[in-house]
Amino acid sequence: DGGITQSPKYLFRKEGQNVTLSCEQNLNHDAMYWYRQDPGQGLRLIYYSQIVNDFQKGDIAEGYSVSREKKESFPLTVTSAQKNPTAFYLCASSTNSWTGDQPQHFGDGTRLSIL
Angle at 64 between CA 60 and CA 104, to 5 degrees: 65
Q: Which of residues 44-63 bind another protein (CB under 8 A)?
A: 44-45, 48, 50, 58
Decide if residue 22 touches another protein (CB under 8 A).
Answer: no
H/E/C letters for each residue in 29-53? CCEEEEEEECCCCCEEEEEEEEECC
C-beta of 55 vs 82, nearer to another protein: 55
Output 48 or 64, the one with its CB closest to another protein. Answer: 48
Query: What is the chain's alpha carbon radius of gyration, rounded to the nearest angstrom?
Result: 14
Considering only CA atoms, which of 35, 24, 10 is closest in space to residue 114?
10
Task: Give the number of residues in contact with another protein, rule: CB under 8 A.
Answer: 33
Q: What is the dihedral of CA 65, 88, 18, 70, to 10 degrees?
A: -40
Q: Which of residues 73-102 bind another protein (CB under 8 A)?
A: 88, 90, 92, 94, 96-102
Choosing from 2, 40, 84, 115, the residue that interacts with another protein (CB under 8 A) is: 40
List contacts with another protein (CB under 8 A): 4, 6, 31, 33, 35, 40-45, 48, 50, 58, 88, 90, 92, 94, 96-109, 111
